[in-house]
Amino acid sequence: LRCLLPLQSWVSDFVGPSQPFLQTTTHANSSGSPPKLSIFCNQNPVPPLPTCAIKYPTLSQRTIFFASKPSTTYTKHTHPPPTMSSTRERRIAKELGDLQNDPNSGVNAHLVDNNLLHLKGVFPGPPDTPYAGGTFQVDIVIPDNYPFKSPIMKFDTKIWHPNVSSVTGAICLDTLGSGWSPVGTIKMALISLRMLLESPNPKDPQDAEVAKMMLDHPEQFAQKAHEWAVKYAGAPRRDTPVHNYQKVAPPPPRADDPARYQGYNKDLIDRFVHMGFDLDAVVEAFNFVGIDRNGGEDYVLEEAYMGDITARLLGEQ
């Protein structure tokens, strides 16, 4: 009977606990021979058979031998174990149900051709952005190893955005790459995309042309982003699209940037820098005193010039 318990457990998992698929009864034998088991399949008795007729389920298949008549002839039934795809599809179905029950999330998704592994996500453009009032659709493909790998998403709706390809709709977003976690959901990914429309990141672009426009000409970027939202996403047209983008100032030059030396020889300037003076202040003092650049070559300054430069740096001139 012990060898049958795993089989009973598996059958219960396979057909559901509510269905009396398999029942067993042990028959004692006074002759000392091994006990026999009676199996009832769907409440219909099957003639007794010895325990050796029951094969354990394996990882690759579930095998059951049922007696077809009161003899040693048995019928073999093999069932594949529940596959990963079935688990994956059950999870997707649950996630879609959660989306339907949460209208406040601002995002939604539906099946394509009743296929749980291919969906379309939909969300509105965020307010106070060039995308406001538009409706954006995203194609979603569920990979084989979901949720351990992120869903594969791309924009169906054309959009002018630094983190989305203006040609293919491919997306650059950590949540859909290295930042994905198995606890993530389709709803979470769609919300992240909507937030990406609120806060573009031109420093980590998918589309370099769009990113450059946003960094160098934010007003022009906002206008074009709005025009695309009107044309492709059905957004209402506004004369001046609302945005909070600002031109990004170039980073300050590094200490070893040749431009900071303004044509003077680096070693010549650094003699004063090594005395504790600021590099830019030293260059300003050289210009004030009128020190010759000597074609960028190093040379020894006259003592009078050294005194004038030092006085300037100390605020005495």
208 CB burial (10 A radius; 0-12, 13-18, 19+): exposed
Question: What is the distance between the alpha carbons of residues 126 and 133, in angstroms, rounded to a whole number?
Answer: 8
Q: How far apart are CA 42 and CA 30, in angstroms?
A: 30
Whether 3 is catalytic is no
- DSSP labels, 3-41: GGHHHHHHHHHHH-TTS--EEEEEE--TTSSPPEEEEEE
Q: Cβ(48)–Cβ(37) under 8 Å?
A: yes
Please report, for residues 108, 207, 214, 224, 230, the alpha-carbon distance to residue 121 in angstroms, rounded to integers and kept in the order given.
6, 22, 26, 24, 19
Q: Closest by alpha carbon to 165, among 156, 176, 178? A: 156
Which tokens belong to 88?
């994956």
> Pick from 108, 129, 153, 161: which is nearest to 235 by CA?
129
Contact 317, 288 (CB under 8 A): yes
The Cα–Cα gap between 143 and 133 comes to 31
**Positions marked catalytic:** 172
